[in-house]
């Protein structure tokens, strides 16, 4: 579950998002998440290099959801089903993106990276 504080819900034009672990295909740490964004912002707030929160559309009507702030590392989660293809979520300053990706991959029973 992607639980967002009220401020992120408002800026991202979206509420909390639930994704079953069975839908997770891959989870990996991303050191430079700004280079991983694809497509264009559909709904949400974006100021390149500062914040990106919301839905991005790309390709043939495929959607990604991201929550990024400044130069923080992030975890990229690819899923098999649901509205979104990928989630790109920044980790707090005191967290390690690699450990978070490993934890999620183990919980979902998938490989990391």
Range of the domain at 37: 6-108
Whether residue 12 is contained in a domain is answered as: yes
What pLDDT sits at residue 68? Answer: 95
Per residue in 37-88, pLDDT tens? 999 999 999 998 899 999 999 988 899 999 998 888 999 999 998 999 999 9
Residue-wise pLDDT tens digits, 97-109:
999 999 999 999 9
Find, among 52, 8, 45, 10, the residue nearest to 30 by Cα: 52
Q: Is 54 left (phi over 0), alpha (psi -120 to 50) or beta?
A: left
pLDDT at position 59 is 86
Number of domains comprising the chain: 1
What confidence tens digit (pLDDT) does each residue in 6-48 have? 999 999 999 999 999 999 999 999 999 999 999 999 999 999 8
Residue 1 belongs to some domain of the structure: no
- Against a cut of 0.95, is the pTM above it? no
Element (H, E) at 100: helix 97-108
Residue 85, domain member (yes or no): yes
Q: pLDDT value at position 23?
A: 95
Q: Is residue 41 part of a domain?
A: yes
113 domain residue, yes or no: no
Tell me the C-alpha to C-alpha distance, in Å, between residue 104 and each of 30, 65, 80: 14, 17, 15
| pLDDT range class, residue 111, cuts 50, 70, 90 | confident
């Amino acid at each position: 579950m992607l639980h967002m504080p009220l401020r992120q819900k408002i800026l991202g034009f979206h509420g909390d998002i639930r994704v079953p672990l069975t839908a997770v295909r891959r989870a990996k740490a991303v050191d430079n998440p700004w280079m991983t964004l694809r497509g264009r912002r559909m709904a949400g707030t974006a100021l390149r290099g500062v914040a990106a929160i919301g839905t991005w559309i790309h390709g043939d009507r495929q959607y990604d959801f991201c929550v990024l702030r400044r130069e923080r590392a992030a975890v990229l989660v690819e899923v098999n089903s649901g509205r979104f293809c990928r989630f790109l979520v920044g980790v707090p300053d005191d967290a390690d993106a690699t450990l978070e990706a490993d934890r999620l991959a183990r919980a979902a029973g998938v490989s990391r990276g």
